[in-house]
Amino acid sequence: MMNWSTVCQVSGSVVVAGNPPFLGPKERSVEQTADLRFAWGSRYDGFLNYVTGWYAKAIDYFQGHSGEWAFVSTNSICQGQAVPSLWAPLFSAGWRIKFAHRTFPWTSEASGGAAVHCVIVGFTKDLNITPLLIEHGSGPVDERTFRVPVINAYLVDGPNLLVDKRMHPLSVDLPEVIAGSKAVDWGNLTVELDQYAEVSADPLAARYLRPYRGGDELINNLERWCLWFVGANIQELNESPLLGERLSAVRRLRLASSKAATRRGAATPHLFEERRQPSSDYLGIPQTFTENRSYATVARLPPEVIASIKLFTSPDPDGYLFAIISSSMFITWQKTVGGRMKSDPSFTNTIVWNNLPLPPVSSGDRRQIIEAGKGVLAARELHPEKSLSAHYEPFAMTDELQAAHRKLDGFVDKAFGINKSEPTLRDRQAILFRRYEELTSPLFGSAPNGHRRK
């Protein structure tokens, strides 16, 4: 890897600019991962995108100097679990954002004609400048450009904070959310549509056949099933040729696994390797949301419906969780700090949910939020034939559903401290980071350049 100083000695007039390659952990080669490890050294984080290697090189190149630099980058540098790993070293080295162009789609030959989502971020050590924040849009650039006191790692004009993984909800009013069950079955404990007739015709198998839902099935009303054998006698199950064949395959494949936990699971081939199925009605939260929808597509499910690892779950007896996660405040937080699967927001309990900065809510406000959530469900029920995907298709939401969500937003916005009737995205992001700063301040210490984290 080249030493930049051999090409250009550092001086006060040096400006570095570029458009480095974007490659996530799954896309880069072994050699590129080695490059990234070399660039970051002990600070390497496996979640970092390949583009961040240039950031590491810029930090080292300008060590002890000022200068300025800017890169076009994938917007993943501002989202998800890797944000603290990239931005903490930047802030600690004295850099601050001079200007930032927020997320915009970019189609290029390098991306094979597909649109990638990019940001442009410029850095300086000059504390006297007023940062420039540029929104993506089709109007005149002057109308999309703002001078702001500070731009944080999420390209928001809010407090300069980093959102780390958290194992329990920050808000005292929010319940725990956990991932669904993981089969590790190579398709032998799950039943697809074209297999259903054969499996349901087996009297023994039919007793244990359950609806099975991940995010895709929940959102699109897709039919899928699983064989849920909790409490079953494995010797009895093997009396069925169909089940015996499936369980034998699970046993053989688990034994061949390189993972010790999976090999141990070969002793119980009839059971999902990881079982976290709720015993009562629960809220199902897809692991991934479609990027262009205005609200999270979540729904309540009975305990007979088995949640896959692609669906997060939580008991929600009064509907409060449903109401909060169905609000504009939640989806703004999700899209601002959460990671992405391609361009689609990816829900996690540790980064997104457990850090949602909902202040304490009075019992009266809580009741209003719950009732407004019920109004959203009632609006959906006016068209029971529609899937969640159809309900929330952009520009195709019914007037009743839009009105129900606006009413819900009014109560949730109030809980967060927003009093505007029509807050903008920037308004919501600013208040979310202010609430996050307030709720975490006893847990955080100061660091250079105003950066605060656990």
Bridge partners (DSSP) listed for residue 15: 68
| pLDDT tens, position by position, 6-64 | 888 887 678 889 888 888 888 889 999 999 999 999 999 988 999 999 999 999 999 88
- The model's pTM is 0.88
Same domain (yes/no): 364, 329: yes
Task: Answer yes or no: is 282 within a domain.
Answer: no
Same domain (yes/no): 364, 448: yes
The residue ranking higher by pLDDT, 451 or 288, is 288
Same domain (yes/no): 257, 308: no
Asked if 280 contacts 315 with a C-beta cutoff of 8 angstroms, the reply is yes
Q: Residue 419 burial by CB count (10 A; 0-12/13-18/19+): exposed, middle or buried? A: exposed
Same domain (yes/no): 390, 332: yes
| pLDDT tens, position by position, 407-417 | 999 999 999 99
Same domain (yes/no): 208, 85: no
Task: Answer yes or no: is 280 within a domain.
Answer: no
Domain that holds residue 310: 299-453
At 441, is the pLDDT very low, low, confident or very high (cuts 50, 70, 90)?
confident
| pLDDT tens, position by position, 245-263 | 999 999 999 999 999 999 9
CA distance 235 to 213: 28
Same domain (yes/no): 210, 119: no
**What whole-number percentage of the chain has pLDDT above 70?**
95
CA distance 170 to 436: 9
- Residue labelled with tokens 């849009």: 137
Same domain (yes/no): 195, 119: no
Name the domain count of the chain: 3
Provide the token pair at 395. Answer: 């520009």
Asked if 432 contacts 336 with a C-beta cutoff of 8 angstroms, the reply is yes
